[in-house]
Copies of this chain bind each other. A is one copy, B any other.
Amino acid sequence: MTSYEQYKNITQKAADLQFASAVLGWDQEVYMPPKGAHYRGQQLSTLASQAHEWLTSDSYGNTLQDLASDKTLNEEQQNNVRLSHEDYEKNKKLPSSFVEELARQTSISFDSWAKARKENKFSIYEPELAKMLSLKKKQTELYGYDKHPYDSLLDDYEKGLTVAILDPVFEKVKEQLPPLLRKITNAQQVNNDFFHKHFPKQLQWDFSVNVLQKMGFDMQAGRQDYSEHPFTTSFAPNDVRITTRVDENNFSSLLWSSIHEGGHALYEQGLPENEYGLPLGSAVSLGIHESQSRLWENCVGRSKAFWKYFYPILQQYFPAQLDNIPVTGFYKAVNKVQPSLIRTEADEVTYHFHVLIRYEIEKALLEGNIPVKDLPGAWNDMYKKYLGISSPDDKQGILQDVHWSHGMLGYFPTYSLGSFYAAQFFEQASKDINDLHTQIESGEFSNLLHWLRTHIHQYGRRYQSEELCKKATGRGLDFTSFMNYIENKYTEVYDIK
């Protein structure tokens, strides 16, 4: 075996275990009977620690070291080695005793969060969140950072992302979104009451499958199932699973979850199969991943063009429910904007205030500027400030998200980045594909998918987000694209003069 083959062998074996974990995780959310939970956790932990052991072994490090100066490698190989080497160096910074402590605290924090949520009482969770926070602070020290401790955590989800990059972006959110939101809330409100008629489960499902297939989701290389919280997971580029949820009395529950996860899945199905398990066969970052889901969910799935094609079809599925609703009324309902308490149910405009609040809190926590015990108050102050509402209880407020209990600080901002990248990519695709709008109006998505495959999917992790965005659109992340997108859309939806 050459050194490159040795490298590839270990990296792919670790990926085999990680993909196996993904299968176990998928089953856990989708089909596992309740009593299966106990040993499932142990099995996942064994898989993770063995993969970690391989990826942090000295022999793996030595192989990567040798390959770093190997002139015989081609460009793809060099890129894989470079990225794996970066991963290796980062992984090595966390001693296994710390990794184990973090895993233990994650399990404890999660249980405590779930209990606190059930009893609607933040104080139950507070001490475990505080311990988790001090571990995350320790992690920033172990990783090291130049300017802000938060940078080292952001990097876990979005390589190269820093507070210095994010602050100006969220400044624009704070400056530019409130005036638009005020105009919307002052306008004539949109009615979406008909979403709450009875929509039989199987028909909702069938329609979503129809949409997914039109989008280009390959059902021979993936499938859709139900789970409590929709998600996408991949076991290889040719086995990508999505889930959705259903509410027979709320039409908005299933379909856009399917489209959203379908967007993630198209990315995973589009990763180069011959780079299985290697960096060039993996998604670049959470922000770019989210850009794919949101482009399909929002820029496409909540567009007028999309519903020009699909609405007559949808009416055939649900004649009694929709026959007296014109397409314009439906389109407006799909894009209703309203400040609300729950992030995951928020519309395209108010969503980013939810993220902004979490971003500011996470930064302040790491800076030591908010004591953990004051979080419910700080949370409510910010909701009042940015959205004019406040939570009646902890459950709908500070306890609504699972992320912190899992130690995932730095994750939230990638949700907003996803929307911003999505708007910018879609804007560029609309320029590059002459009649994209007309194509969507006739249910034709293959050129859009081809654009995404060509400019995003095929590269895996070869370029970091910012570089990839430049290659695809000629410039780095630019909030203007998103702002233009929502201003145009909502000015029309809300008939704003």
Contact status A47-B238, CB under 8 Å:
no
Given the known interface contacts A16-B46, A16-B47, A50-B50, the answer about A239 and B24 at a Cβ–Cβ threshold of 8 Å is no
- The residue on B at minimum CB distance from A14 is B46
Contacts of A42 in B (CB 8 A): 12, 16
| Pairwise interchain contact A24-B20, C-beta atoms closer than 8 A | yes
Q: Mark A49-69, 1 if CB is under 8 A from B, else 0.
A: 010000000000000000000
Q: Are A239 and B17 touching (Cβ within 8 A)?
A: no
Closest to A237 in B: B39
Q: Which of A148-156, A218-226, A421-429 contacts B (4 or more CB under 8 A)?
A: A218-226
Q: Which residues of chain A (177-221) have a CB below 8 Å from chain B?
A: 218-221
Q: Interface 1/0s, chain A 22-36, versus B by CB < 8 A?
A: 011001000111111
Q: Could you say which residues of chain B place their CB within 8 Å of the CB of A222?
A: 33
Interface centre among A19, A39, A225 (most CB of B within 10 A): A39
A23 and B17 in contact (CB under 8 A), knowing A221-B35, A238-B35?
no
Chain B contacts for A39, CB-based, 8 A = 16, 19, 235-236, 238-239, 276
Is A38 on the interface with B (CB-CB < 8 A)? yes
> For the complex, is A40 an interface residue (Cβ under 8 Å from B)?
yes
- Which B residues touch A24, using CB under 8 A? 20, 23
Query: What is the 8 Å Cβ interface bit string for chain A, positions 235-262, against chain B (1 contact, 0 not)?
Result: 1101100000000000000000000000
Question: How many copies of this chain does the complex contain?
Answer: 2
Residue of B nearest to A223 (CB): B33
CA separation between A222 and B16, bound complex, in Å? 26
Q: Which of B13, B21, B34, B276 contacts A220 (CB 8 A)?
A: B34
Q: A43 at interface (Cβ–Cβ under 8 A)?
A: yes
Near B by CB (< 8 A), chain A positions 227-241 give: 235-236, 238-239
Given A35-B221, A222-B33, decide whether A23 and B19 contact each other with a Cβ distance below 8 A. Answer: no
How many Å lie between the Cα of A236 and that of B42 in the bound state? 11
Chain A contact residues, majority secondary structure? helix
Distance (Å) between the CB of A433 and the closest chain B CB?
Answer: 28
Task: Give every chain B residue within 8 A of A225 (Cβ-Cβ).
Answer: 31
> How extensive is the interface on chain A, given as a class?
35 or more
Given A23-B27, A24-B20, A27-B27, verify A238-B38 contact (CB < 8 Å): yes
* Inter-subunit contact A218/B35 (CB<8 Å): yes
Interfacial chain B residues near A47, Cβ < 8 Å = 16-17, 20
Q: CB distance B36 to A239 under 8 Å?
A: yes
> Within the complex, what minimum Cβ distance (angstroms) separates A268 from chain B?
12
In the bound complex, do residue B220 and residue A31 qualify as a contact, i.e. CB atoms below 8 Å apart? no
C-alpha spacing A246/B112, complex, angstroms: 44
Which of B33, B218, B219 lies in contact with A221, CB distance below 8 A? Answer: B33
Evaluate contact between A239 and B20: CB separation under 8 angstroms: no
Tell me the residues in window 351-394 of chain A with beta carbons closer than 8 Å to chain B beta carbons. Answer: none
| Shortest Cβ gap from A45 to chain B (Å) | 8
Q: Give A42 to B239 CA distance when docked, in angstroms.
A: 13
- Report yes or no: A46 in contact with B31, Cβ–Cβ below 8 A: no
Closest to A39 in B: B236
Residues of B within 8 A of A36 (CB): 221, 235-236, 238-239
Give the residues in chain B near A20, CB-CB below 8 Å.
20-21, 23-24, 43, 46-47
A219 CA to B220 CA, complexed, in Å = 30
- Cβ contacts A to B, 27 pairs, < 8 Å: A13-B46, A13-B50, A16-B42, A17-B46, A17-B47, A19-B39, A19-B43, A20-B20, A20-B23, A20-B47, A23-B24, A23-B27, A32-B239, A33-B238, A33-B239, A35-B218, A35-B220, A35-B221, A36-B235, A38-B236, A38-B238, A39-B236, A39-B238, A39-B276, A40-B235, A40-B239, A43-B235
10 more contacts with CB within 8 A, not counting A33-B239, A50-B50, are: A12-B42, A13-B46, A16-B39, A19-B39, A19-B43, A20-B20, A20-B24, A36-B221, A36-B238, A40-B239
